[in-house]
């Protein structure tokens, strides 16, 4: 150990302690600086470039309600930014396996990350690399950042932009699948109701051919005319009018039922037609599901590692560890000397 007069560490003379061991600390600091600079070089740590896309989700769910419907009382607007719920949905979709698998296939990430086909944990390693290099974060302004790190600056930018594009694809596919099911349900009811209306109209046509055109007015008119003919004693006319009343009595009820049911069905058909047209738009048309604030571009400088920060942390860490080691050894030496001095 050092044979100077300093005896152990005391907070009151810490500066003296540092001065006493200054040469040691200088050597440790220089060695730590050199080693950290060497081991943070590209040969040991692969430099990574950073690219990001910033986007907002939209608030629109149903295209038809935002663009076509006049009866919908909501506040949907295709130009309105999404709120907290839409932001959370966006983060979930961006993290989905559908987007991840598409990126893995397009950019051959097994090969890009140098994961061997024979590796029994190749998928686990790939997912770990993916999650380490591709991140999704919410900003304070309810936007979402897609952040991509890669050793190739252009690849990082391309992946970030492609993920943003895939968000539209995945969300629209999810919505279209559900919208298509809803459309088929409405279409089935719409076509069924049209068929029922056509059948009722055919039945009314048959009744009209039998002489039933407007039950109430016909009945009133014939009864009035019948009274006049009876008063005149015109038996042939009375018989003819009575025959017509018999026909009305026989087919009037079905006519009224069909007429009223047809009127109700036509009103219902008008409502279903509107829903049918809206459902068809939702099933067949897509809108962008995001607003892009800034697209990713090829970075000019690497983002990782930050060599000066690594060097700084390493030097301070080495110096701190050196202080602890020196203090420990000095205290041990001091205790040993006291022990020897106390022995007879």
43-52 pLDDT tens trace: 666 788 999 9
Model pLDDT for residues 314-334, shown as the tens digit of each residue: 888 888 888 888 888 877 877
CA distance 50 to 280: 42
> Across-strand partners of 290?
57
DSSP string, 190-257: HHHHHHHHHHHHHHHHHHHHTT-S-HHHHHHHHHHHHHHHHHHT-HHHHHHHHHHHHHHHHHHHHHHH
3-class DSSP state of 319 = helix
Of the listed ranges 143-152, 184-193, 246-255, the least confidently predicted one is: 246-255
Once rounded to an integer, what is the mean pLDDT over residues 144-155?
Answer: 92
Residue 105 has pLDDT above 90, yes or no: yes
- Residue 281 token pair: 């738009």
What pLDDT does 201 receive?
Answer: 85
pLDDT tens digit sequence for 175-228: 888 888 888 888 888 889 889 888 888 888 887 777 777 767 777 776 777 677
Beta-bridge mates of residue 137: 145
Nearest CA to 144 out of 213, 83, 197 is that of 83
Mean pLDDT of the chain: 80
| Residue-range domain boundaries for the chain | 49-181+286-294, 183-284
Nearest residue to 149 (alpha-carbon basis) of 302, 307, 309, 310: 302
**CA-to-CA distance for 237 and 220, rounded, in angstroms?**
16
Strands 49-57 and 144-150: antiparallel
Is pLDDT larger for residue 277 or for residue 241? 277
Report the number of secondary-structure helices (H) and strands (E) in the chain. 11, 4
Helix (H, G, I), strand (E, B) or coil at 51: strand
pLDDT of residue 232 exceeding 80: no
The percentage of residues in the chain with a pLDDT greater than 90, rounded to a whole number, is 20
The band of 129, judged by pLDDT with boundaries at 50, 70 and 90, is very high
The encoded tokens of residue 66 equal 């935002």
- Alpha carbon distance 7, 9 (integer Å): 7
Supply the pLDDT for residue 62. 61
- pLDDT tens digits for range 258-306: 888 888 888 888 888 888 888 887 777 777 778 888 888 988 888 766 6
pLDDT for res 13: 66
Most confident of 74-88, 147-161, 311-325: 147-161
Structure tokens at 296: 């990713």
Query: What token pair was written down for 108?
Result: 């051959």
Of 52-61, 162-171, 247-256, the least confident: 247-256
pLDDT confidence of residue 344: 58
Give me the CATH topology for the region 49-181+286-294: Alpha-Beta Plaits (3.30.70)
């Amino acid at each position: 150990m050092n044979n100077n007069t300093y005896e152990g560490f005391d907070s009151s003379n810490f500066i003296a302690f540092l001065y006493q061991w200054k040469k040691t600390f200088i050597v440790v600091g220089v060695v730590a600086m050199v080693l950290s600079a060497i081991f943070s070089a590209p040969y040991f740590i692969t430099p990574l470039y950073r690219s990001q896309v910033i986007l907002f989700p939209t608030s629109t769910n149903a295209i038809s309600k935002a663009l076509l419907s006049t009866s919908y009382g909501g506040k949907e607007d295709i130009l309105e930014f999404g709120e907290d719920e839409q932001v959370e949905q966006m983060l979930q979709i961006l993290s989905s396996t559908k987007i991840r698998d598409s990126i893995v296939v397009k950019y051959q990430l097994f090969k890009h990350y140098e994961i061997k086909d024979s590796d029994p944990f190749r998928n686990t390693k790939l997912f770990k690399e993916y999650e380490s290099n591709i991140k999704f974060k919410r900003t304070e302004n309810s936007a979402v950042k897609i952040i991509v790190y890669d050793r190739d600056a252009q690849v990082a930018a391309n992946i970030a932009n492609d993920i943003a594009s895939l968000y539209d694809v995945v969300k629209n596919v999810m919505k279209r699948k559900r919208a298509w099911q809803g459309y088929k349900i409405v279409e089935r009811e719409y076509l069924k109701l049209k068929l029922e209306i056509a059948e009722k109209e055919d039945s009314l046509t048959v009744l009209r051919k039998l002489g039933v055109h407007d039950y109430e007015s016909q009945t009133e008119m014939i009864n009035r005319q019948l009274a006049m003919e009876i008063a005149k004693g015109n038996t042939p006319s009375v018989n003819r009018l009575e025959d017509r009343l018999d026909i009305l009595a026989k087919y009037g009820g079905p006519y009224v039922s069909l007429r009223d049911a047809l009127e109700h069905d036509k009103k219902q058909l008008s409502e279903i037609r509107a829903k049918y047209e809206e459902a068809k738009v939702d099933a067949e048309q897509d809108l962008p599901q995001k607003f892009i604030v800034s697209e990713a571009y090829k970075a000019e400088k690497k983002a990782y590692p930050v060599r000066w920060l690594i060097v700084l942390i390493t030097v301070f860490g080495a110096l701190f560890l050196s202080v602890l080691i020196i203090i420990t050894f000095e205290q041990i030496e001091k205790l040993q000397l006291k022990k020897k001095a106390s022995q007879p």
